[in-house]
């Protein structure tokens, strides 16, 4: 039973890590796309505001969801470990 519990906990950790890496790569791609655009000060300011609002709306929600699910599954695994011992 403990072996299965450990496998589940490790899988949840790996899945959350992969999700975090995917979000990070997406942010990096957007940043590189912005670097290739027009380099005027007004364009940079516009991109900066757009990036900040987009990042907070999408990336923060995705990362929060990933870590909330990870936290809940870890608590469930801990409770299972305590009561199935």
Residue 53 pLDDT more than 80?
no
Candidate from 12-26, 28-42, 57-71 with smallest mean pLDDT: 28-42
The runs of H, that is alpha helices, within 37-59 are 41-54
The C-alpha angle with vertex 76 and arms to 22 and 57, in degrees rounded to 5, equals 35
| pLDDT of res. 38 | 64
Stated as kind and residue range, the H or E segment containing 38 is none
Q: What is the mean pLDDT of the chain?
A: 83
Q: Residues 6 or more apart from 26 whose CB is under 8 A from it?
A: 59
Euclidean distance between CA atoms 57 and 55, whole angstroms? 6
CB-CB neighbours of 4 under 10 Å: 9
CA distance 80 to 85: 8
The predicted pLDDT at position 14 comes to 93
Average pLDDT score over residue span 56-63: 82
User: What tens digit of pLDDT does each residue of 2-27 get?
Assistant: 788 889 889 999 999 999 999 888 87
């Amino acid at each position: 039973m403990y072996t299965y519990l450990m496998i589940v906990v490790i899988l949840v950790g790996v899945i959350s890590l992969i999700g975090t890496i995917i979000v990070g790569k997406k942010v990096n791609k957007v940043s590189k796309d912005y670097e290739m655009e027009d380099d005027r000060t007004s364009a940079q300011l516009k991109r900066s505001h757009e990036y900040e609002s987009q990042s907070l709306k999408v990336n923060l929600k995705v990362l929060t969801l990933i870590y909330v699910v990870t936290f809940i599954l870890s608590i469930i695994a801990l409770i299972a470990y305590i009561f199935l011992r």
